[in-house]
């Protein structure tokens, strides 16, 4: 099973600037009033997405 994440163009105030131009679920993007980048949809393993919906990269493991 995979989930869809999308590139976003801004990061929420108070978050690490390294999240700029990161990937996240559409729910995270909408909740944080970010702007999704068109044509950036990517299917990822849910284990590589944190509880808030940010994509952590291929080498991440979600704590259980």
The total number of residues written for the chain in this structure: 64
b/e code 27-62 from CB counts within 10 Å (16+ = b) = ebbeebebebeeeeeeebeeebbeeebbbeeeeeee
pLDDT digits (tens, 9 = 90+) for 2-46: 999 999 876 555 555 544 558 999 999 999 888 898 899 999 999
pLDDT digits (tens, 9 = 90+) for 40-58: 999 999 999 999 999 998 7
d(CA 60, CA 48) in angstroms, rounded, equals 6
pLDDT of residue 22: 85
pLDDT of residue 45: 94
Interstrand relation of 42-44 and 23-24 (parallel, antiparallel or unpaired): unpaired
pLDDT of residue 24: 94
Radius of gyration of the chain (CA): 11
């Amino acid at each position: 099973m995979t989930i869809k994440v999308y590139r976003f163009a801004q990061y929420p105030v108070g978050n690490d600037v390294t999240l700029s131009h990161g990937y996240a679920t559409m729910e995270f993007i909408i909740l944080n009033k970010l702007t999704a980048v068109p044509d950036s949809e990517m299917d990822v393993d849910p284990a590589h997405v944190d509880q808030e919906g940010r994509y952590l990269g291929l080498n991440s493991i979600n704590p259980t």
